[in-house]
A and B are shown apart, each in its own frame.
Chain A
């Protein structure tokens, strides 16, 4: 049978979403960035917001996210994506703006920017991909690296005396009155991806409805940085990361009213 006889519309069972570009992704095999990109693209397509969505990419493995999702993009300096997104969103209140950041970018160098953007309740979706390591620079310790976890800069495992504790930043973000939706998801199984997609949809809908900041953490893997196979990486994540970074929605409500913060 000729291949042309197989590739026919009636045989089509799956199609790449048109909001994803044709570029081959640079991510390592087994990395979930690709899956997360795909789900974001699907939601943008399904909501029909491609023409008004602006993405802000970080410094880290997903620095080139703009090569894969077919929307207008702003490439931010390391950690500053929430400030860049704030600027873009404030002068373009009709646009849907999101940031896509890793753990080093969001929870280390960019802690001030993410805290203040969320506290102001900027009208954004934040995607926070947490794989407990700096992937792009070669597997160094991240703020979310677990105690005892070996990395290039903690070759004997993270030591609290030396490096302090893993930062559960999403729990902190959930305290801020400007956030309306704070959730922690994962993307290692079809079921998890379906839940993630629901959360992403909710985040974008909140932004369209100007409901303040939606913050979506995705607990993720880095099999290259962790120096294990993709399958082992998923197992390690479930065994070690899920207990420390439990999945689930921490907050789903409107932004707080200003009542309790007012001068008497």
Chain B
């Protein structure tokens, strides 16, 4: 048994970053994720592992600091909540265009605009469809517990460097503010310059020595070359779709109906499933862990044998569109959600299941 603690999701983001050998964090305070930077500053990792922590003047600055640090092949991340992520999206597009591995954590709150500080999943589209300008995608991991928050920091960096692409951890105020039992990962040392040279030496800007200079850029004024770059990005996203789908299925073997939910919604839907099963309703739960890549094949396969789907989300119905694309008209797909910072209760979801799918 490793290091067992009771910790908030946000605190674990910080602790897991230190333990997975992260080189730097650049952030800006915003509720409900400020504990990330607060925990880092309290922990002083610069004394322990040499990790840099800097409070930037804005989210715009933090994402561009990330660009600068990521360009040198270092493991770096930032965190924010919805309005802050909107400010960062220009920079995220640049990071995707320059194919820089890095990580950002979005602890979502309700919007639009300044909205509320209460939990939400209304940034699903922004996270999985790109968000900023241009044809790009992020790998999006949706932890549903404090333990997964810990585990996905390391996984996020692993995927970021495997595919040379930015990765987002899409969590929310529930996961960020909740404390759960967590087994913390063991400490991994930060990469040495030699290791960075070995892992990212083909592109990292570490100073020009006996090789052509490296340029970290998303700019290509020649349209034919820019189209080639886009072909390369799309091939990468295709490969990610084929190889990196992660999901969890509960009680889907005998299910007549399947709920699809991610993150904190999936936790609530799981409780609804328990209640519904006690009532004799054969319902299962599919929890996408990667939102991009989305578990399309798994939903396609389920659509051949269940009577309908209910997409449960803390937004006005976003992921339901992806579920419908995967189901492709074979069976009904319904949506239930609360939004604006309201959290659905397990009871409400059971009622929606009964009224929208079973009664309908």
Contact of B246 with A by CB under 8 A: no
B91's contact among A73, A80, A112, by CB below 8 Å, is which? A80
Residues of B contacting A51 with CB < 8 Å? 207-209
Contact of B71 with A by CB under 8 A: yes
A83's contact among B60, B208, B219, by CB below 8 Å, is which? B60
Cβ contact within 8 Å between A83 and B61: yes
Cβ contact within 8 Å between A87 and B205: no
Residues of A contacting B206 with CB < 8 Å? 72, 92
Residues of B contacting A73 with CB < 8 Å? 205, 213-217
Contact of B310 with A by CB under 8 A: no
Cβ contact within 8 Å between A91 and B23: yes
A96–chain B nearest beta-carbon distance, Å:
9
Binds B, one of A63-71, A150-158, A165-173, A181-189: A63-71
Cβ contact within 8 Å between A74 and B24: no
Residues of A contacting B56 with CB < 8 Å? 83, 86, 116
Residues of B contacting A54 with CB < 8 Å? 72, 205, 207
Contact of B289 with A by CB under 8 A: no
B205's contact among A72, A77, A83, by CB below 8 Å, is which? A72
The distance in angstroms between the C-alpha atoms of A51 and B207, with both chains bound, is 5
Main secondary structure of the interface of A (DSSP, over half): helix
Cβ contact within 8 Å between A52 and B26: no
The B-contacting residues of A in range 78-93, CB under 8 angstroms, are 80, 83-92
Contact of A250 with B by CB under 8 A: no
The B-contacting residues of A in range 213-228, CB under 8 angstroms, are none
A71–chain B nearest beta-carbon distance, Å:
5
The distance in angstroms between the C-alpha atoms of A54 and B76, with both chains bound, is 18
Cβ contact within 8 Å between A72 and B207: yes
Cβ contact within 8 Å between A86 and B54: yes
Residues of B contacting A113 with CB < 8 Å? 57, 60-61, 64
B213's contact among A72, A86, A90, A92, by CB below 8 Å, is which? A72
* Binary per-residue interface labels of chain B (16-49) against chain A in the complex, 1 for a CB within 8 Å, 0 otherwise: 0000000110100000000000000000000000
Which among A54, A71, A87, A91 has the greatest number of chain B C-beta atoms within 10 A? A87
- A88 to B, closest residue via Cβ: B68
Contact of A41 with B by CB under 8 A: no
Cβ contact within 8 Å between B219 and A91: no
A48–chain B nearest beta-carbon distance, Å:
12
B72's contact among A53, A86, A92, by CB below 8 Å, is which? A92
Contact of A75 with B by CB under 8 A: yes
Cβ contact within 8 Å between A71 and B213: yes
Cβ contact within 8 Å between A77 and B64: yes
Residues of B contacting A56 with CB < 8 Å? 68
- B26 to A, closest residue via Cβ: A87
B199–chain A nearest beta-carbon distance, Å:
15
The distance in angstroms between the C-alpha atoms of A76 and B206, with both chains bound, is 16
The distance in angstroms between the C-alpha atoms of A152 and B231, with both chains bound, is 37
Contact of B118 with A by CB under 8 A: no
Cβ contact within 8 Å between B65 and A84: yes
The distance in angstroms between the C-alpha atoms of A87 and B90, with both chains bound, is 17
Contact of A108 with B by CB under 8 A: no
Cβ contact within 8 Å between A74 and B207: no
- A76 to B, closest residue via Cβ: B64
The distance in angstroms between the C-alpha atoms of A66 and B70, with both chains bound, is 18
The B-contacting residues of A in range 96-115, CB under 8 angstroms, are 112-113, 115
- A116 to B, closest residue via Cβ: B57
Contact of B94 with A by CB under 8 A: yes
B47–chain A nearest beta-carbon distance, Å:
15
Cβ contact within 8 Å between B216 and A74: yes
Contact of A17 with B by CB under 8 A: no
A75–chain B nearest beta-carbon distance, Å:
3
Residues of A contacting B74 with CB < 8 Å? 91-92
The A-contacting residues of B in range 46-90, CB under 8 angstroms, are 52, 54, 56-58, 60-62, 64-72, 74, 76, 90
The distance in angstroms between the C-alpha atoms of A87 and B91, with both chains bound, is 13
B55–chain A nearest beta-carbon distance, Å:
10
Which residues of A are interface residues toward B (Cβ below 8 A)?
50-54, 56, 63-64, 66, 70-77, 80, 83-92, 95, 112-113, 115-116
Which residues of B are interface residues toward A (Cβ below 8 A)?
23-24, 26, 52, 54, 56-58, 60-62, 64-72, 74, 76, 90-91, 94, 98, 205-209, 213-219
Contact sample, A vs B, 17 pairs, CB 8 Å cutoff: A50-B207, A53-B207, A63-B219, A64-B219, A71-B207, A71-B213, A73-B214, A74-B67, A74-B71, A74-B205, A75-B216, A77-B64, A88-B68, A91-B72, A95-B207, A116-B56, A116-B61
